[in-house]
Amino acid sequence: MGILNFISIKLLAILSLQQAEIASDDFKYNPKRAAVNSEILVENGYQIGDLATDFNLKNVDGKMVSLANYKEAKGFIIVFTCNHCPFSQAYEERIIALDKKYKAKGFPVIAINPTDPEKYESDSFENMQKQAQEKGYTFPYLLDVGQKIFPQYGATNTPHVYVLDKTDEGNKVAYIGAIDDNAKNQAAVQKKYVEAAVESLLAGNSPAVTQTKAIGCTISR
């Protein structure tokens, strides 16, 4: 075998190995990839001022939940989240805190898991029940069966938040995006977007910031 043939075979082997590693990495969670993919937009998702259509989804307690069940609500904090995503895990305590702070004021949290449980076993309904019980969820945790609801909203990531203002016209979208400005470190948060939006609505005003970029794991269909 000539030296040139030997070098060519060696290079092909290296390239094949690199391609295999890249392909394999596509199946692994990559925070950088998740952050980049958060720029992907879902067509026909809600915009600020749109009226959100009601849903009827199964809660971890086995009961069906819809927005219409909340007769006394002034609005809602809809959070698309899941079990497996590290970003959702990082925000879990903050989501619980939002419900504890604002449910009594008329803005309850409703969490919706948009993930296909066939792709992520940790997001099965049974594991959602375990998660809710272990963490002491004070809010509904609903499974988006068939992934029909998150595309209507235009959610791209977990977590992705939609603050709805209950008006005479219907549930109007008042804020879309992130919970705050620091997913990694709660102690370093400087801007609490969801809290600011809800406080503005409670005061009878429109939120100063209506849309931010949601950072998290990409919702795959």
pLDDT block averages, 10 residues each, the chain of length 221: 45 39 34 36 78 97 97 97 97 98 98 95 96 97 96 97 97 98 95 98 98 94 81
The β-bridge relationship of strands 109-113 and 141-143 is: parallel
Nearest to 150 by CA among 82, 70, 63: 82
- How distant, in Å, are the alpha carbons of 12, 88, 202 from that of 213? 41, 15, 23
Could you tell me the two tokens for 205? 């005003």
Q: Where are the beta strands (DSSP E) in the chain?
A: 57-59, 64-65, 75-80, 109-113, 141-143, 157-158, 160-166, 171-177, 217-218
Cα–Cα distance measured from residue 1 to residue 55, given in angstroms and rounded to the nearest whole number: 69
Tell me the residue type at 15: L
Provide the Cα torsion 102, 115, 93, 164; round to 10°.
Answer: -20
Task: Indicate the DSSP class of residue 180.
Answer: S
Residue 105 per-residue DSSP state: T
Residue 189, number of CB atoms within 10 A of its CB: 16
Half-sphere exposure of 165 (CA within 13 A, CB side): 24
Quick one: pLDDT at residue 166? 98
The tokens describing 188, both together, are 């370093």
Q: Which residue has the tokens 């795959």?
A: 220
pLDDT at 2: 52
pLDDT score at 23: 33
Query: Taking the model in full, what pTM does it have?
Result: 0.81
pLDDT value of position 178: 98
Q: Are 135 and 96 in contact (CB under 8 A)?
A: yes
Residue 46 has a pLDDT of 97
